[in-house]
Amino acid sequence: MSSIAENLGIIRARIDDACRRVGRDPSEVRLVGVTKTVPASRIREGVQAGIAILGENYIQEARTKVEALGDLEVSWHFIGHLQSNKAKIAVECCDMVHTVDRESLALELDRQAKRAGRVVPVLIQVNVGDEATKSGTSPEALPGLFRVVSGLEGLAVRGLMALPPYEEDPESARPYFRMLRELLEGLKRDAPKPGDLRELSMGMSHDFEVAVEEGATLVRIGTALFGERAPRNPA
């Protein structure tokens, strides 16, 4: 099995190549190492190899790992579905939340952020494939949700996030990545500070190059970096 450092080098080179193909500056693309089910010792190895941002899906797991790895210079992004009653934990342990998908969650995150005396950078998650099994606001409801979240003093909207329908062929995700970029362009046209809206969190192990070609600024990569995950809920 290759080391995390080797995997990181290969992924970074592929991101840089994808940038070159479309004339983007590679420094615009940041890698989020997705650590669900990955033990703290491997995460530590990843950070020592140069991973600067970690992404967690499960809030309890995030809290445990942030405590175990509190000595590391790394930022933690929350990328999973968040229940409103867990918003407090997310505010306490995470630097950014990628998955604001409804007003009730935004209001609770805002309340907790104010109590903690911080402004939490967030992304709005869009259900680009209109899938019943996935979280995210519909593209139609996005402008309304964006207006609400933008008005909250405890939150700072930085962009959008999506998890397109899974297909083997990474090219099949391209229209969804493009849709997310166009939705962000649409929001920028009406935003008071369009420069603050710059993040597109999209692309995973099997399709990150396509995502980068379509404008991703945060790619969320798990298996290509840390190896195959053990099944979380063995049947």
Rounded Cα–Cα distance for residues 227 and 111 (Å): 38
Q: Are 85 and 43 in contact (CB under 8 A)?
A: no
Q: What is the helix (H) or strand (E) element at residue 220, kind and residue range?
A: strand 218-221
* Residues across the chain: 235
Report the nearest approach of ligand PLP to the CB of residue 79 (Å): 4
Question: How many residues form the binding site for ligand PLP (CB under 6 A)?
Answer: 12
The letter for the amino acid at 18 is A
Counting contacts by CB under 6 A, is residue 221 touching ligand PLP?
yes
* CA nearest to 55, candidates 209, 205, 215, 207: 205
Contact between 154 and 113 under an 8 Å Cβ cutoff? The reply is yes
Using the rule CB under 6 A, give the single segment among 2-10, 111-119, 174-182, 215-223 that binds ligand PLP: 215-223
In the chain, which residue ranges form alpha helices assigned H by DSSP? 4-22, 40-49, 59-68, 87-93, 103-116, 142-150, 174-190, 208-213, 223-226
Q: Please name the residues in contact with 143: beta carbons below 8 A apart, sequence gap of 6 or more.
A: 186, 187, 190
Which residue number is nearest to ligand PLP in terms of Cβ?
222
Applying CB under 6 A, the span of 2-10, 144-152, 186-194, 218-226 interacting with ligand PLP comes to 218-226
Among positions 62-101, residues that touch ligand PLP (CB under 6 A) are 79
> Using CB under 6 A, which of 141, 205, 213, 227 touches ligand PLP?
205
DSSP-derived secondary structure letter, 191: -
Q: Which is nearer to ligand PLP, 46 or 154 (CB)?
A: 46
Chosen residue from 4, 8, 29, 34 binding ligand PLP by CB under 6 A: 34
CB of 16 to ligand PLP, least distance (A): 18
140-199: contacts with ligand PLP (CB under 6 A):
163
Alpha carbons 160 and 96: distance in angstroms, whole number: 12
> Min. distance of Cβ 80 from ligand PLP in angstroms?
6
Do 192 and 147 meet the contact criterion of CB atoms below 8 Å apart?
no
CB of 215 to ligand PLP, least distance (A): 17
Contact flag: residue 223 with ligand PLP (CB under 6 A): yes
Closer CB to ligand PLP, residue 57 or residue 112? 57
Interacting residue with ligand PLP among 35, 57, 112, 217 (CB under 6 A):
57
Contacts to ligand PLP by CB under 6 A: 34, 36, 57, 79, 163, 204-205, 220-224
